Chains A and B, each alone.
Chain A
Amino acid sequence: MKKYLLDLKVTSVQQVHQRYVLIKLTDEKLLPPMLPGQFVEVRVEGSPSTFLRRPISINFVDVAANELWLLVAAVGEGTRRLACLRAGDKVNVLFPLGHGFSLPQSVTERLLLVGGGVGVAPLLYLGAEMQRLGVEPTFLLGARTKADLLMLDYFKRYGRVFITTEDGSEGEKGFVTNHSLLKQEQFTRIATCGPTPMMKAVAAYARQVGCDCEVSLENLMACGLGACLCCVEKTTEGNVCVCKDGPVFNIQKLLWQV
């Protein structure tokens, strides 16, 4: 897919949680096509300690409003600066990057999207695209507490939503892989994004039940274009760039010990 380097305009910055903001961006021209699971690299201005661009997954593309949504966890200096953006500001964005999730091949597929923490971000756009293609997905979302569940109302627009929290304050208590849904229903494909231990547990479940599974990795990266070879992951084909050959991989291709 053709890549673009554009100065996008911030339309709104919404605090969706103590540590997370939802940044909506637009352009005078029509935004280029983007696929679920792809990401952008955002330039952070004015800080010597945040030298490189910040890779952020595409949370949603609102075609009607010509908006690109980014769900940003303010975890370090760079992302905290992004969280301070205001409506009207311009941000320099390199996108769309990488290789996204597989989309349903037939309307009979049963799709499970498993997200944890800020890893739920790309699953919203993925779920919306699946619904648009005629397959309503099932979301299984995990968080520490009820207050840490992000964008629930949005997810409910596109499919069934099941929840686990570590303290039991919402949904079932425990981790996503403990949810009773996994014992009650069978799926043809799983897509997951979140903390690595969670994705590894989901991958182990998928292997056990013989279900196709894709995971989205977030290795540290620099260029985002497959040029610097910093973000590599070990695969059946050797070291490959997460930024270019991923960030989404089928678990069959990864050398994860799960």
Chain B
Amino acid sequence: MASLSVKIKDLTLKNPVMTASGTFGYGLEFADLMPLDGIGGIIVKGTTLRAREGNDYPRMAETASGMLNCVGLQNKGVDYFCTDIYPQIKDIDTNIIVNVSGSSPEDYAECAARIDSLECIPAIELNISCPNVKDGGMAFGVSCSGAASVVKAVRERYHKTLIVKLSPNVTDIAEIARAVEAEGADSVSLINTLMGMAIDIERRRPLLSIGTGGLSGPAVKPVALRMVWQVARAVKIPVVGLGGISTAKDAIEFLMAGATAIEIGTANFLDPTVSIKVRDGINDWLDAHGCQSVYDIIGAIR
């Protein structure tokens, strides 16, 4: 049995498998179906300083080997999270990481500061890459200066492990990664969804309420893998890879491309137990190939 444990700055994951924000609720929704403490981390849904209603229905369209969504960060705000959700999840024996979003650097920083005070939340994932909100979100993540401004503001007020989630909707993702690294990010996670669209040809209207949405699922995996590979070569901080991962083989590809850990997103909708299967599959592969540790394969493409 190989060692599956990995580290992201001060954060120790018992294995490199986490669930991606927005696809796994607060974990509790899946508690009947799989052991929540069996994975390395749960990244809970996007949280903002104030409550958000999100976008109008319809928010989802199925596509070839994937789906589009334009949920738009619906959540009840950080104070609701702290008082109502946190007590229910704080004792789950895994890393509970909060995905933080906002519409100004000050909003992000204030939201992060409130989460900093929660003892059992060891890290946040800063979402500067949501394609479905007009104010903020991806607007910050598509320029080096925008990304840097948010990370700088948050870094001043957040003292635990800071992961920054990057948008793929940019010309050069490595450049953005370097910009957030320079402002003190402890890690980057990528990719958020790719902006896309689908049209109802009979009604001659977009299928999604705001016209566009974020594409996820196996359809985006090759793009995500390429970007993880580019970013891992460009920065020194650990990279968390995600985008279309649904099998252990997919996950191992991301690890070999340079990711220290991976997140599983849309695949949770098809199989709520998939993260456990991916964990076991990574372990089996390492054993079958005589590897002592998952670190033997991280960044190990020849």
Chain A interface residues toward B at CB < 8 A: 2-5, 43, 48-53, 92, 94, 219-234, 238-239, 244
Contacts and interface: CB of A to CB of B under 8 A. Distances in A.
A227 B65 contact: no
Contact of B65 (A51, A225, A233): A51
Contacts of B53: 238-239
A173 B197 CA distance: 43
A244 B65 CA distance: 25
Given A228-B60, A231-B60, A232-B59, A239 B67 contact: no
12 contacts: A5-B271, A94-B272, A220-B61, A221-B60, A223-B268, A227-B45, A228-B69, A229-B71, A230-B69, A232-B74, A239-B54, A239-B74
A225 B22 contact: no
Given A49-B64, A223-B23, A223-B268, A230 B33 contact: no
B67 A48 contact: no
Contact of B30 (A2, A43, A227, A244): A227
Tell me the interface secondary structure of chain B in the complex. Answer: loop
A169 to B, nearest CB: 28
A94 B269 CA distance: 10
Nearest to A77: B62
Contacts of A221: 60
Interface in B264-295: 268-273
A94 B60 CA distance: 20
Nearest to A240: B74
B272 A222 contact: no
Contact of B57 (A43, A92, A94, A232): A232
Most buried by B among A3, A92, A232, A238: A232
A219 B268 CA distance: 20
B64 A52 contact: no
A3 B33 contact: yes
Contacts of A229: 22, 45, 54, 59, 71, 74
Interface in B28-64: 29-30, 32-33, 45, 53-54, 57-64
B270 A228 contact: no
A52 B25 contact: no
Contact of B270 (A49, A51, A230): A51
A220 B25 CA distance: 18
Nearest to B57: A232
Highest count of chain B CB atoms <10 Å: which of A43, A225, A234: A225
Given A227-B45, A229-B45, 10 more contacts: A43-B271, A49-B62, A52-B67, A222-B60, A225-B30, A226-B25, A226-B29, A228-B69, A231-B59, A239-B54
B24 interface: yes
Given A222-B269, A226-B25, A229-B71, A4 B32 contact: yes
B79 to A, nearest CB: 16
Contacts of A4: 32-33
Contacts of A94: 33, 272
